[in-house]
Chain A
Amino acid sequence: MLGLEKKDFRLLLIVIGLTMLAPFILNPFPEGSEMAQFNAGYPDLMQRFVIFGIFAIGFNILFGLTGYLSFGHAAFLGAGSYAAVWMFKLLSMNVLPAIALSVLIAGLFSLIIGYVSLRRSGIYFSILTLAFAQMSFALAYSVLTPITGGETGLQLALDDPRIFGASQTATGNIPVPALFGLEMRASYEFSIGNWLFTFNAGYYLAAIFLIGSFYLAIRIFRSPFGMMLRAIKSNQTRMSYTGLNARPYTLAAFVISGMYAGLAGGLMASMDPLAGAERMQWTASGEVVLMTILGGAGTLIGPVLGAGMIKYFENIFSKINDTILHGWFAFLPDGLENFVVAIIHPFIGKGWHLTLGLVFMLVVIFLPGGLVQGGQKIAAMFQRKKPEDAKSKATEPAE
């Protein structure tokens, strides 16, 4: 089907199912219950899940297949966002040209940086990409303020000279990004009993892009090109002895993953028209590395899981405060309630970093193949019959 093996097609169907039904899956708790705090089915977070999923899928094409660890991928995401916002400012509020340009700009940007950086390998390559990204960040934050908006980020204004479309709406506000009139922020709510589900236009657009990206990633993983990249990873010297020049292949992988990052950046700006320089900082590049390793480098679905996990912690755990904790444990006697709250307190709200750090350590210690391996372990528990099969499916982690 669609040129995929049965197994891959099943995986694609699972991804399609998960993304399309995400508003239900992510909102398992009824509104108003104490557990509703853990619901993630609101537009902003759902959008972030798929956008960072795309970013991580793209990163994995480079890192998972070739083993080249780029520490500067956030620069492409940032460049993509700037391109998209400029498109909104100058051309039109339609998201398609903005996304197209952001992919293009990120592709060009990654071509240049990739061409230079790929002259070195291993950690030397990592530091070259890091250096380029940090330079982009530093300049975007300061000297390039007229182009990038600097500290406050690039934003839309009431007097933008938009060629197609008005500078202001009839009510005197800035128009919002839309797909041929369908506003990205438009949502449709659906309630059953105490459950409430939100279907957001922007999320579904991003989800369709995610499915497309995922499909493309499967095709790349299974193609001769993908095999070639794996060969480069396992032994580049042997490759060159056979008379093959590895660089065009790695450069192609680099540019493809850069364009994925640009797509993510363009989508981000489409959901929320602002581009900030922090998107290019090394911490942002590090985040996508962590997402990929956390989920399982070299696996197809792993990076998406890793992205979801990190974004979930960032957005859900940081919002739990002591008042909410007291609400949860109100059934306990007072002294015990305060004790339990005091124990949990360091891990939530302002302590969400601590929880995230601990999760990193626990996952890498107990699940060397990332979250995907965790999933496989659970799956193996249920289908004891075919342990051999589960083993062969495990993709080995990248170096």
Chain B
Amino acid sequence: MSNSKFSRRGVLKTGMVASAGLALPQYLRADSHAGFTNAPGDSEVILGFNVPQTGPYADEGADELRAYELAVEHLNGGGDGGMLGTFSSKALDGTGILGREVKYVTGDTQTKSDAARASARSMIEKDGAVMITGGSSSGVAVAVQALCQEAGVIFMAGLTHSNDTTGKDKRANGFRHFFNSYMSGAALAPVLAANYGTNRKAYHLTADYNWGYTTEEAVKSSTEAMGWETVNAVKTPLTQTDFSSYIAPVLNSGADVLVLNHYGGNMVNSLTNAVQFGLREAQANGQNFEIVVPLYSRLMAKGAGANVKGIFGSTNWHWSLQDAGSQAFVRSFGTKYGFPPSQAAHTTYVQTLLYADAVTRAGSFNPCAVVEALEDFEFDGLGNGPTLYRGADHQCFKDVLVVKGKENPENEFDLLEIVEVTPVDQVTYAPDHPQFAGGALGTCNPGA
């Protein structure tokens, strides 16, 4: 590495030589001559990768960062090209984006909305990033999405599963490839009914914050539509580490299924506790007691160890998928880093490619042009089958994977097995669905 100018202003240097020595005042937002924030120069474009590097989701953030680096390498024509070869749009040719070399800056969200916004603002104000992407929680995604809308740059969400991101908190400059709570519920319910029957009584433990609420609502309404009954739904504090006092009463409550609307450390601990209490082996109402984890993450499942065996959940993507896109991605990621990518890595890699492709097709970095290119864009070959980026709410619609903790894992990455690929039609909903009500997309903001 010899040549690395990580600043938009570095690019402007040539333009400034003319005025060297002279004080040439200029308005920040208008310095691009192009009418939008942080218009890149002629030789390079800067993307901002804003991921959790400290705090409980640091490992997930590290995996996202690996995927971003891989995507940049592929966009610049390095490596084996990964999914560029399988992507249905052939606009990208490995010469960067619109002929500009892709550079990037990184930041730490700390999984706190304040820190995430501070980091995103420094990318926009100091480094001249024209697109921000990343994050590993919905709180951060929603906060940074609003910021990008205000600043006039594109936000490509990373891992965020709450309905709100493309529901009541949607923004015109923000796009989500990851699936959401509603889709998890819609995909899981039929599989649960097929495996556990329709005569079931469910007990929900729900993380007491926005994502937990939307997930509980989604799973509840989908399973109740299948004939299940919800016995009880108890909210658990985010900061809870020991869930024993919430788990202990479950077995005697008349329920025969426990739904854990938890993610990350909460999920690892509540699942571990539930298995400790022997719920997996227990009997209730004359049936085997079952546990369900609506949102699975392989990285987190690893923390729960053998406890995940046989437990159903949903996931956005899994490395064992056999389609050409997934295979290409796993090959290039695995060759570079020595282990298969996580779903967080997949979604961030795909988001970067989708952004680059949209810019190329639009022929401009102008956020409004990018929004137009992404809205109602249909594509394939990125690992989830045919996918639609819906214009009405900037949510991707694609197949959802229902997975199960594997009984006999062959290696440390082989924790989940795919039970069913729920077709996209089954998880599609109207943009004004009650679970997504409120809020408005607004119009794209190019800054100025």
Chain A contacts to B: CB under 8 angstroms: 31-32, 34, 36-37, 39, 42-45, 48, 138, 141-143, 145, 150-153, 155-159, 168, 171-174, 176, 185-194, 196, 198, 272, 274, 276, 278-279, 314-315, 318-319, 321, 323-324, 326-327, 330, 349-350, 352-353
Further contacts, 12 of them, CB under 8 A, given A37-B6, A171-B443, A191-B24? A36-B6, A44-B118, A44-B122, A145-B209, A152-B169, A172-B442, A185-B151, A187-B27, A272-B147, A274-B146, A324-B6, A350-B108
- Chain A residue at minimum C-beta to C-beta distance from B15: A191
- Residues in B neighbouring A32, C-beta threshold 8 A: 5, 7, 9-10, 13
A155 with B142: CB separation less than 8 A:
yes
Whether B31 is near chain A, meaning CB under 8 Å from some CB there, is: yes
B118 with A48: CB separation less than 8 A:
yes
- Residues in B neighbouring A168, C-beta threshold 8 A: 442
Within the complex, what minimum Cβ distance (angstroms) separates B133 from chain A? Answer: 15
Known contacts being A151-B211, A326-B1, is A196 close to B139, with CB within 8 Å?
Answer: no
B6 with A189: CB separation less than 8 A:
no
Instruction: Provide the B42-69 mask, 1 if CB < 8 A to any CB of A, else 0.
Output: 0000000000011000100110000000
B105 with A152: CB separation less than 8 A:
no
B237 with A138: CB separation less than 8 A:
yes
Within the complex, what minimum Cβ distance (angstroms) separates B138 from chain A? Answer: 7
B105 with A319: CB separation less than 8 A:
yes
Question: What are the 6 tightest A-B residue pairs by CB atom distance, in nearest-first order?
Answer: A32-B10, A350-B53, A172-B443, A44-B121, A151-B209, A327-B4
A173 with B443: CB separation less than 8 A:
yes
Q: How far is the CA of A190 from the CA of B7 in the complex (A)?
A: 16
Within the complex, what minimum Cβ distance (angstroms) separates B443 from chain A? Answer: 4
Whether B282 is near chain A, meaning CB under 8 Å from some CB there, is: no
Q: How far is the CA of A43 from the CA of B114 in the complex (A)?
A: 15
B31 with A189: CB separation less than 8 A:
yes
Whether B331 is near chain A, meaning CB under 8 Å from some CB there, is: no
Q: How far is the CA of A326 from the CA of B3 in the complex (A)?
A: 10
B27 with A272: CB separation less than 8 A:
no
Known contacts being A276-B112, A323-B4, is A198 close to B28, with CB within 8 Å?
Answer: yes
B13 with A194: CB separation less than 8 A:
yes
- Residues in B neighbouring A158, C-beta threshold 8 A: 439-440, 442
Q: List 28 A-B contacts (CB under 8 A).
A: A42-B125, A42-B126, A44-B125, A45-B118, A142-B209, A145-B209, A151-B137, A151-B138, A155-B146, A156-B146, A157-B440, A185-B150, A185-B151, A190-B24, A190-B25, A191-B16, A191-B19, A191-B23, A196-B9, A274-B143, A276-B114, A278-B113, A314-B115, A315-B118, A318-B107, A319-B106, A323-B4, A349-B53
Q: How far is the CA of A193 from the CA of B21 in the complex (A)?
A: 5
B442 with A330: CB separation less than 8 A:
no
- Residues in B neighbouring A152, C-beta threshold 8 A: 113, 138-139, 142-143, 162, 164, 169, 210
- Residues in A neighbouring B27, C-beta threshold 8 A: 186-189
Within the complex, what minimum Cβ distance (angstroms) separates B70 from chain A? Answer: 13
B150 with A174: CB separation less than 8 A:
yes
A138 with B26: CB separation less than 8 A:
no
- Residues in B neighbouring A44, C-beta threshold 8 A: 118, 121-122, 125-126
- Chain B residue at minimum C-beta to C-beta distance from A27: B126
Q: How far is the CA of A318 from the CA of B108 in the complex (A)?
A: 6
B6 with A153: CB separation less than 8 A:
no
Whether B208 is near chain A, meaning CB under 8 Å from some CB there, is: yes
Whether B266 is near chain A, meaning CB under 8 Å from some CB there, is: no
Within the complex, what minimum Cβ distance (angstroms) separates B369 from chain A? Answer: 15
- Residues in B neighbouring A319, C-beta threshold 8 A: 105-108, 119, 122
Whether B2 is near chain A, meaning CB under 8 Å from some CB there, is: yes
Q: How far is the CA of A278 from the CA of B209 in the complex (A)?
A: 13
- Residues in A neighbouring B121, C-beta threshold 8 A: 43-44, 272
Within the complex, what minimum Cβ distance (angstroms) separates A325 from chain B? Answer: 9
Q: How far is the CA of A153 from the CA of B21 in the complex (A)?
A: 45
Q: How far is the CA of A153 from the CA of B162 in the complex (A)?
A: 14
Q: How far is the CA of A171 from the CA of B149 in the complex (A)?
A: 12
Q: Which of A43, A190, A276 contacts B125 (CB 8 A)?
A: A43
Q: Which of B104, B122, B149 contacts A45 (CB 8 A)?
A: B122
Interface centre among A174, A188, A319 (most CB of B within 10 A): A319
- Residues in A neighbouring B58, C-beta threshold 8 A: 350
- Residues in A neighbouring B20, C-beta threshold 8 A: 193
- Residues in A neighbouring B6, C-beta threshold 8 A: 36-37, 324, 327
Instruction: Provide the B410-448 mask, 1 if CB < 8 A to any CB of A, else 0.
Output: 000000000000000000000000000001101101000
Within the complex, what minimum Cβ distance (angstroms) separates A158 from chain B? Answer: 5
A31 with B7: CB separation less than 8 A:
yes
Within the complex, what minimum Cβ distance (angstroms) separates B397 from chain A? Answer: 23
Q: How far is the CA of A153 from the CA of B111 in the complex (A)?
A: 13
B108 with A321: CB separation less than 8 A:
no
A36 with B105: CB separation less than 8 A:
no
